[in-house]
A and B are shown apart, each in its own frame.
Chain A
Amino acid sequence: MSSPFHSRVAGALVDDNLHIALNRVTSRFTTLRLNALASLPHADSVRDRARAIRAHTLSRLDIYLAQFADSVEAAGGRVHWAADAHAANRIVAEIAKAARARTVVKGKSMVSEETHLNPALEAEGITVVESDLGEYIIQLAGETPSHIIAPAVHKTKEQVGQLFHEKLGIPLTHDPALLTAAARAKLREVFLTADMGISGVNFGVAETGTICIVTNEGNGRLTTSTPRVHVAMMGIERLVPTLDDLSAMLQVLARSATGQKLSVYTSLITGPRRRRPSKQSEGGPGEPDGPDELHVVLVDNGRSRVLGTRLAEILYCIRCGACLNICPVYQQIGGHAYGSVYPGPVGAVLTPALEGVEPWPELPQASTLCGACRDVCPVRIDIPRMLLELRDAGHRAGQTPAWLKLFLPLYQLAATQPALFNFGAAAARWITRALSSNGWLKRLPPPLSGWTDHRDFPAFAAQPFSAQFKNHHKGAKTQRNTKDSS
């Protein structure tokens, strides 16, 4: 197995540090989530309703998106429509240039990772500083996030300490409190001097044109309050119709993500800061602080196309990360092994959905379909169903390995012709029994050798079940005959 995916997986499986980190984050978050949901009255009904809200909104996405855009503009914001990643990056760069922004501070935005915004801005000579601590860490390290909620989860505190020592010049320490304080000081400078702030959007509210941004650190608030210009990048599917619907989504988001009842800061931003209806003589804005310009960049980048497919359900996702934490595959390989911006179960569906199966043949296969993700999803997304749909698409695209392409039709033939099935089973019985010792085989030939790399394989049973059953019945008939004749 030599594909890039398999190399990444192989590397991850022997990375002890990664394993310690993954165990820590996944087990902690899964426990916290369970506790947080246990303390939510009517949790099942709340989740059902959250699902209904997402489904309904997407079924009328054109209407709600138009309403949202109109409401943002009515509140004094500007709306930009980005058909794809290239357009999104171009729009943001143009806003930055018009604002003469030299330094941009960023809150966490998965959409901006998806469009690879940072390099596009840097190519224009703009300095971009990530303000979420996890994102800041990986930016310093030149890496990509490995988890949707905790981007630097794969790093030990020793690794972070070394990184800060090298890049920030602080004395070597691995005390998280000291490291955080160092980041706070550095980033505070950036917050107070950056010309432009870029954020993501957790939810847009159609009725009011409100964008809701959820963070714990305060970087989301600062990014969207101190700079003169605020750019909010939003995937077009991240909408809810009303504030009441927003409250319903917020009831499950933080609980599913980190086990908190609510994240520390839930910011509802409606337009740039208010201007007092001004007479000529009254100078100055209506609010003392806040950005003077708000730009909402609506990013499609394949979402409108996915909406028309059997994979549309993946657009219900609210990016809580619960599926990552519970996934037994993610727990073994971590986020980077997936090779995609969105890792874990959601990424295994979303990435090939947005980009096609051709560049991502392994992602839909990297699952046992155990269903744990569907169990924990706050909006009950049926990820296994969509992984199967993607496997169907992959098979039709010819991605099935050669040996399976050969084997499956043969197996199908045998399974529909019992005599052939029995013959094939008899042959396998003969071969495995001949090659086995003490009833087991230690090595199967390729392409099945993957099995015996990790476990023994049993020889086929001496007598198949069907034959044993017939004997059992014969014996019973004989008994009955004997009884009857007595």
Chain B
Amino acid sequence: MPPTTVQLFATCLIETLRPSAGMAVVRVLEGLGLTVEYPDGQTCCGQPAFNGGAWEDARAMARHTLDVLSRSPAPIVIPSGSCADMIVHHYPELFADDPKYGPLARDIASRTYEFSQFIVEVMGVSDLGARFAGKIVYHPSCHLLRGLGVDDAPRKLLARVNGLEVADLPGAHECCGFGGLFAVKMSDISGAMLDRKLQNVESAGAQTVVGCDVSCLLHIGGGLRRRGAKVETKHIAELLASDERGAMNDE
């Protein structure tokens, strides 16, 4: 039985930098007949602290997030592969020996999904009746691809978008070079990896780069902008929420 209610964990990047992606997610989920709860008090999953080795700080943020998400029994949908991977894989590790948060983390992890994964694997839907005219490339973010093992779901969803041409992205599986604080701490290496990704994007001749992680899109989009390229970035939800008129209603 597919669920009727979901909790949305929007992620700090969508909250502050790309709310349109979040609204597109809501539109798609409600279009499937789901009730979307937005648990109050959600902030950040703690991944930046975790990746930086500040695990006590990460645990504090994780405890807060677990408290926020455990108020409802509904499954959790996250429009971010890296945040979903953090909760699904690293939360249980962080609290392996914790008598209270250990079980909580394992429970939350067992019902947390990345957005495209949820639609295809849990709701069993790949055709959302979406329409988006244009040529795009899909960039699979690393934590989604390798951490969660999700690649078919977003591709299936994109394949069913009317009017969409999905071009082959050379070196698609190569990391774009974002890596969280890596982008600042090791900015020169990050920039070199970004250049390579952008060269591949350019050679594919697409107008839009689509991904499931706003973090990668921020980095790729910022690079495209710096180059003066006419290519934009979109979260997959922004394509899937586009309706018959070919445009999403921004609210």
Contact = CB atoms under 8 A, between A and B. Distances in A.
Direct A–B touching in the complex (beta carbon < 8 Å)?
Answer: yes
Interface of A: 1, 6, 9-10, 13, 328-329, 332-333, 362, 364-372, 374-375, 388, 390-396, 400-401, 404, 408-409, 411-412, 414-416, 418, 421, 425, 428-429, 440, 442, 447-448, 450-451, 453-458, 460-461, 463-466, 468-469, 471-473, 475
B49 to A, nearest CB: 6
A9 B188 contact: yes
B142 interface: yes
Contacts of A329: 189, 193
Contacts of A429: 16
B14 A465 contact: yes
Contacts of B42: 418
B53 A425 contact: no
A461 B57 contact: no
Interface stretch (B105-113, B119-127, B157-165, B222-230): B222-230
Contact of B223 (A328, A370, A455, A465): A455
Contacts of B190: 368, 450, 454
A368 B174 CA distance: 11
Contacts of A10: 188
Nearest to B19: A465
A128 to B, nearest CB: 35
Given A328-B174, A408-B54, A451-B183, 13 more contacts: A1-B188, A364-B53, A370-B175, A370-B179, A391-B53, A395-B52, A412-B54, A416-B43, A428-B16, A442-B226, A450-B183, A465-B10, A468-B19
What is the interface of chain B mostly: helix, strand, loop, or mixed?
Answer: helix
25 contacts: A1-B188, A10-B188, A13-B192, A328-B174, A328-B196, A370-B142, A370-B179, A372-B175, A391-B52, A391-B53, A392-B55, A408-B54, A412-B46, A412-B54, A415-B46, A415-B60, A415-B64, A429-B16, A450-B190, A453-B187, A455-B191, A455-B194, A455-B223, A461-B20, A465-B15
Nearest to B48: A411
A211 B201 CA distance: 49
Contacts of A1: 188
Nearest to A5: B186
B102 interface: no
A447 B192 CA distance: 19
A371 B15 contact: no
A450 B52 contact: no
Nearest to A405: B54
Given A370-B146, A465-B19, A468-B22, A365 B187 contact: no
Contact of B57 (A333, A409, A418): A409
Contacts of A396: 53
A11 B178 CA distance: 21
A461 B10 CA distance: 14
A374 B146 contact: yes
A375 B114 CA distance: 21
A461 B16 contact: yes
A365 B43 contact: no
A411 B45 CA distance: 11
Interface string B37-66: 010111110101111111101001101100
- The size class of the interface chain B forms with chain A is 35 or more
Nearest to B41: A418
B182 interface: yes
A-B complex: 9 closest residue pairs judged by Cβ atoms: A368-B179, A450-B187, A455-B222, A391-B53, A454-B191, A395-B53, A465-B19, A370-B175, A371-B146
Contact of A412 (B49, B187, B196): B49
B219 interface: yes
B221 interface: yes
A395 B19 contact: no
Contacts of B60: 412, 415-416
Contacts of A391: 51-53
B97 interface: no
A454 B226 CA distance: 8
Contact of B192 (A332, A374, A412, A414): A332
B77 interface: no
Contact of B19 (A9, A400, A416, A463): A463
A469 B38 contact: yes
Contact of A471 (B14, B63, B182, B251): B251
A468 B18 CA distance: 11
A468 B61 contact: no
B189 A366 contact: yes
A428 to B, nearest CB: 7
B226 A456 contact: yes
Given A9-B188, A454-B194, A465-B10, A367 B26 contact: no
Interface in B12-38: 12, 14-20, 22-23, 26, 38
Contact of B222 (A367, A458, A468): A458
Contacts of B156: none
Nearest to A458: B17
A392 B219 CA distance: 25
B189 A332 contact: yes
A9 B189 contact: yes
B218 interface: yes
Contact of B251 (A375, A440, A472): A472
Given A368-B175, A451-B184, A458 B189 contact: no
B28 to A, nearest CB: 13
A329 B142 CA distance: 14
B193 A458 contact: no
A472 B15 contact: no
